[in-house]
Amino acid sequence: MPDTAIAIPADLRRDLAIQDIRATIVDVPTVRRHKLAQTSVTAQSYVIVRMRLSNGAVGIGEAATLGGPRWSEESVEAIKANIDAYLAPALIGQHAAQPVALGVRMDAAAKRNNAAKGAIESAALDALGLTLGVPVATLLGGTVRTSFPVLWTLASGDPAQEIEEAEGKLAARLHDTFKVKIGAQPPEQDMARMRRLATALEGRARLIVDANQAWDETVALRCLPQLSEMGVRLVEQPLPAWNLQGLARVRARTTAPILADECVFTPADMMAVAQAGAADAVSLKLVKHGGPIGLQKVAAVAEAAGIALYGGCLLESSIGAAAHLHAFASLRDLAWGCEHFGPQILVEDLVGAPLRFADFHVHLPEGPGLGVALDPGALRRFARG
């Protein structure tokens, strides 16, 4: 988003100076264990960023992790430390009306740290939107859609429990697409579990799977044809992120569409995946791309390469989910919908009015900024230490 996208009068620019940035770690219990190939969580950890402008507006953002620095190199402890010591000092006194310039300053202050930067950028856009009285999606180019097909993740590892869970979501008209986390168990056990799920939900729900980099090429080539026969629509990151050539070979030998996730953080990563022919779709996440503006850049490269877009998540609360939805709302196409069910897996959300889920969709919150407001009581209850 160029800094000239919105004309800001000089006096208003003074009002938009960043006065303070605060980062708080919170740990929110989940309603059930969420099991991935490399870890499992019973509480979700976030860093909540609050940015105060000289006009008194306070924008909020969120950085999520899964079980510490296992999904990526960032942990909530490192995110807070780097915001406090490096990123926040680089931005104090700068203008929230210049989000691209803020990104340049953050990149000069710290390499990568994409989740930390994404939370700060979201907070800046929220504060700017609150000041101007417009939604963040407007600042990102406007809305193409205001509701999004949303899936639910099945990740307990117990097929009987997962079938019961899926039936409940279908009956409530909340979700009719389910992503199944695999890779923590032996492949044969995962295939047997998937057959049970596919048989129980046949004709009433769609299934995708996420191996979270757990397989090598041999296992992937053995399992992907079985998943295709079960009707699985999409297979997320079956191979390690570094093995793009292997992922391309697997994609060439299977009919199962491949979703790239951990191998795409930057626009350059997206270009490398496209050049290798390694994926049919890409999972977009603020924690990977450094904020809504970086997400739009990755999406643009994918679109140019004919790679479809999928709205990924890292179990964000309504704060992080709202930031994603505003970015997704600005994309020309979101062929695979999104997976921002995170607010529903928490025992309690962090905002006063959580996101609305209905008729198998999640809906863009209304109002200026992100359209959600931090609940101070929830922040105090779940703040670490």
Considering 35, 117, 179, 181, which one is annotated as catalytic?
181
Strands of the sheet with 258-260, listed across from one edge:
152-154, 177-181, 206-210, 235-236, 258-260, 281-284, 308-311
| Cα–Cα distance measured from residue 310 to residue 43, given in angstroms and rounded to the nearest whole number | 25
Q: Is 179 a catalytic residue?
A: no
Q: Where are the alpha helices (DSSP H) in 3-157?
A: 10-15, 76-82, 88-91, 99-109, 114-132, 136-139
Q: C-alpha angle with apex 355: 136 to 98, nearest 5 degrees?
A: 15
Asked if 323 and 350 count as a contact pair (C-beta separation under 8 A), the reply is: no
Q: C-alpha angle with apex 273: 206 to 105, nearest 5 degrees?
A: 105
Asked if 118 and 290 count as a contact pair (C-beta separation under 8 A), the reply is: yes
Sole residue written with tokens 């809305």: 143
Residue 327 is inside which H or E element, if any?
Answer: helix 318-329
Q: Is 117 a catalytic residue?
A: no
Asked if 321 and 341 count as a contact pair (C-beta separation under 8 A), the reply is: no
Residues with catalytic roles: 181, 339
